[in-house]
Amino acid sequence: MRPVIITANWKMNTTPADAGPLARAIADATAVAGISRVICPPYVSLAVVADALVGSDVAVGAQDVHAESRGAYTGEISAAMLSGLVTWCIVGHSERRRDQHETDALIGRKIARLIEVGIRPLLCVGELLDEREAGRAVSTVQGQLQAALEALVSEGHAVPADLVIAYEPVWAIGTGRTASGPDAAEMANAIRATLSEFMSAQAAEAVPILYGGSVTSGSIGEFLDEAAIDGALVGGASLKPDEMAAIVARAGITAEARVATASALAAAQA
Residues contacting 89, CB < 8 A, separation 6+:
61, 62, 63, 64, 65, 79, 82, 114, 119, 120, 121, 122
**pLDDT computed for residue 227 by the predictor:** 96
Let me know if 168 is a catalytic residue: yes
Contact predicate 229/211, CB 8 Å: yes
Question: Catalytic: 157?
Answer: no
Question: Looking at the domain 4-265, which fold is it?
Answer: TIM Barrel (3.20.20)
pLDDT in tens, 95-147: 999 999 999 999 999 999 999 999 999 999 999 999 999 999 999 999 999 99
Q: How confident is the model at residue 173 (pLDDT cuts 50, 70, 90)?
A: confident
Catalytic residue among 102, 127, 168, 226: 168
User: By CB neighbour count within 10 A (0-12 exposed, 13-18 middle, 19+ buried), where does 61 fall?
Assistant: buried
Closest CA to 220 of 188, 249, 191, 192: 249
pLDDT in tens, 33-84: 999 999 999 999 999 999 999 999 999 999 999 999 999 999 999 999 999 9
CA 79, chain centre distance (Å): 17
Give the C-alpha separation, 112 to 222, whole Å: 33
Q: Which of 66, 93, 95, 157 is catalytic?
A: 93
Residue 25 is predicted with a pLDDT of 98
Nearest Cα to Cα of residue 7 among 38, 46, 31: 38
